C-alpha cells in the first residue's frame, strides 16, 4: 500500500506540475483576445520599401543641393572680395609712381620737360580712372574732412584763414568707388 500511495502522490504531483496554474490560464486567454483585437501588422511590401527609400534619397538630395548653393554663393562673394582687395592693393602701390611724376613736374627746369611729364601724368591718370579709381578733390582753404584726409601737421592760422582748414596738400588722396584707398595727407590750420 505504501507503494500505491507513493505512486498516487507522484502522479498527483505530476498532474499539478503539468497543469497550468489558474493565473496562467487567464493570461493566455487575455493574450489571445488582444491578438484578435489588434489587426496584424503587415510587413511593408517591396514597393513601399522602395518608395520610402526613394523619399529618403530625395530629401537628402534637396539638403545637399541647398548646402552646395550656399557654399557656391559664399565662395563667389569671397572671390569677388579678394579680387577687389588685391586690385586696390596693386593700385595703391602704383600711386607712389603718380606722386613721383608730380614731384618731377614741379622740379622740371624747362617748359618742354614739364609738357612731357604732364603727358605721362595724364596717361597714368587715364589708366587709373579706367580701374575705377578717382582722385579725392582737396585744395588749400577747404575745410578739413577726416573721412578723406589725414592731418600730418598743424600750422598757425594766417591772416584771413579759418581754423581747421586745409593749409596745404602734401599727398593726394584716392578712392575706388566709395572706399578710400589712400587718404590725402594735408597740413591743417590751428587756432
In a domain, 45, yes or no: no
In a domain, 139, yes or no: yes
Whether 16 shows a pLDDT value over 70: the answer reads no
Q: Which residue blocks in 19-107 are alpha helix, DSSP H?
A: 22-37, 46-107
19: helix, strand or coil: coil
Identify whether residues 122 and 143 lie together within a single domain: no
**Structural contact between residues 168 and 120, judged by C-beta atoms closer than 8 angstroms:** no
Element (H, E) at 149: strand 149-156
Q: What is the pLDDT of residues 33-84, one digit of tens each?
A: 555 555 566 787 888 889 999 999 999 999 999 999 999 999 999 999 899 8
Residue range of the domain that includes 96: 74-131
In a domain, 91, yes or no: yes
* Length, in residues, of the chain: 191
In a domain, 178, yes or no: yes
In a domain, 6, yes or no: no
Place of cell 541647398: 66
Of 22-26, 86-90, 102-106, 124-128, the one with minimum mean pLDDT is: 22-26
Q: How many domains does the chain have?
A: 2
**Structural contact between residues 152 and 169, judged by C-beta atoms closer than 8 angstroms:** no
Q: What is the pLDDT of residues 57-70, one digit of tens each?
A: 999 999 999 999 99
- The confidence score (pLDDT) of residue 88 equals 86
Mean residue pLDDT across the chain: 82
Higher-scoring residue by pLDDT: 28, 162 = 162
- The confidence score (pLDDT) of residue 34 equals 54
Amino acid at each position: 500500500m505504501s507503494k500505491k500511495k507513493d505512486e498516487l502522490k507522484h502522479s498527483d504531483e505530476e498532474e499539478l506540475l503539468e497543469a497550468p496554474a489558474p493565473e496562467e490560464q487567464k493570461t493566455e486567454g487575455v493574450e489571445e483576445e488582444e491578438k484578435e483585437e489588434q489587426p496584424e501588422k503587415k510587413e511593408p511590401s517591396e514597393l513601399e520599401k522602395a518608395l520610402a527609400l526613394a523619399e529618403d534619397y530625395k530629401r537628402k538630395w534637396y539638403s545637399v543641393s541647398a548646402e552646395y548653393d550656399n557654399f557656391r554663393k559664399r565662395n563667389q562673394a569671397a572671390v569677388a572680395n579678394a579680387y577687389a582687395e588685391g586690385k586696390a592693393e596693386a593700385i595703391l602701390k602704383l600711386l607712389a609712381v603718380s606722386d613721383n611724376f608730380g614731384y618731377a613736374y614741379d622740379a622740371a627746369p624747362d617748359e618742354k620737360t614739364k609738357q612731357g611729364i604732364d603727358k605721362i601724368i595724364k596717361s597714368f591718370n587715364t589708366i587709373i580712372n579706367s580701374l575705377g579709381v578717382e582722385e579725392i578733390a582737396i585744395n588749400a582753404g577747404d575745410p578739413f574732412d577726416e573721412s578723406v584726409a589725414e592731418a600730418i601737421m598743424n600750422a598757425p592760422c594766417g591772416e584771413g584763414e579759418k581754423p581747421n582748414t586745409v593749409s596745404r596738400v602734401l599727398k593726394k588722396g584716392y578712392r575706388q568707388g566709395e572706399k578710400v584707398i589712400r587718404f590725402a595727407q594735408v597740413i591743417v590750420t590751428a587756432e
